[in-house]
Amino acid sequence: MTRSPKVLRPYGYPAQFNTPRTPTNVRLVTRKWLPAHKLWQPLEVALFTPTFDADLVATFNRIPVGPRPFVITFESHLPRLFGYENSAAFRFFSRRLADPKCRAIVPISNFARRLFLDQHRGGPYFDVLQEKLTNPIHPNIQVPETRPRKDRREEKTLRCIFVGGHFMRKGGLSVLHAARRAHDEGLPIEFHIVSDMTMGAGSGVWTDPSNLDFAEDLLSAIDLPNVQHHGKMANEELLALMSTVDVSLLPTLSDTYGYSVIESFAMGVPVIGTACCALPELISHGETGFLVDVPVNANGVWAPLWKHDHDGDEYSRILLETAADVGDGILAHLSDLMADRDRVEAMSTAAFETARERFCASERDAKLEDFYLRLLETPYNRERDPCGKTTIA
């Protein structure tokens, strides 16, 4: 009997979305890794775990340092050594990506692909890295056979949900601005907020100032009667709540992907998000949700993010101004949907169908397994794959 290849993946939440959920042709083993970055921060990019028994390592963001061949999926930059771009560590891990042991480099979005190419353009390994760089393979999710969300067109209240641990980064201030306006105008809109309210540069949130006093008044809107703050929820509870709402909100300022978008779609919930990062690749404006415009650079990054001192008054002013502008855009779309409940149901159906067609794990597993089996035979090379056979979604 021929032994099925053993594919090792690291333990972690993102790995669930970017490897097969129920493989049949490979043996997928999940293994914990050593958090070596606690000894030296640049090692956060490395994957330290026993790999000698694996035929292939399927990793996410972290670059293996062992002897086995690997395929690496990533969400933005790679190596993820922010502030160490001119260091020996950056050169070492870039060489690891260029090494033949690295069989393919897989972006989860075109946004990630652009950032990676921009990061390495002009570098010594650009050509070989570009050859290994596949077309995007979007994350996968378990999608039910039928839409979990029930028809709510007879309901008088429009229900929204916002999910995000990093409250400000994910756009929580915009949601609170919309909630305050809805309350003041007497609009029957409920806002459900699922967040542990992690905020501030001191908490490791790269979009936030250190001092949050500038947002004190807006943050107080979380106590409004049309806002329900749920805190952090287990994923099963979250999906159950998500299936009872009409619209999901992700007005993010900085997001490498937006997993809550595809989770919302899987429940049959359309999404209102900002037109930055990877969200325009996920949300079809007017069909599966809406995109609210924000200024972005050539790569799709929110333009003000790295142009200002985050602890300066100007940046705080921009954050409040953005919250107001985006919040007004959110409320305009919510008001339109409130007046046209048939459209809500049509968008709900479109969102669910998109989840089934683009992100469904049961459809994705066989294609990912086939990709792994091909990589065991030969490394990926873009010149041999001009038609983009690795485009799985």
pLDDT tens for 174-196 read: 999 999 999 999 999 999 999 99
**Cis amide leading into 79 (omega within 30):** yes
pLDDT value of residue 381: 75
> pLDDT tens digit string along 200-253?
999 999 999 999 999 999 999 999 999 999 999 999 999 999 999 999 999 999
Fold match between domain 6-140+361-384 and domain 158-359: yes
Could you tell me the sign of the dihedral formed by the alpha carbons of 87, 90, 93, 95, in that order? negative
CA nearest neighbour of 319 among 203, 196, 185, 199: 199
CA nearest neighbour of 294 among 255, 336, 262: 255
Domain assignments of the chain as residue spans, ordered by start: 6-140+361-384, 158-359
SS3 state of residue 91: helix
| Alpha-carbon Rg for the chain in angstroms | 22
Q: Rounded to the nearest 5°, which phi and psi values hold at 271?
A: -125, 135
pLDDT value of residue 45: 86
Could you give the CA distance from residue 93 to residue 101 in angstroms, rounded to a whole number? 12
Q: Report percent pLDDT > 70 for the chain.
A: 96
SS3 state of residue 341: helix
Pairing of strands 70-74, 63-64: unpaired
Q: What's domain 6-140+361-384's architecture?
A: 3-Layer(aba) Sandwich (3.40)
**Tokens 């967040």, residue?**
195
Query: pTM here?
Result: 0.93
**Tokens 């000894």, residue?**
39
Instruction: Check: CB of residue 106 under 8 Å from CB of residue 139.
Output: no
Q: Which CATH number fits domain 158-359: 3.40.50.2000, 1.10.10.10, 3.30.420.40, 3.40.50.2300?
A: 3.40.50.2000
pLDDT value of residue 389: 54
- DSSP state, 214? G
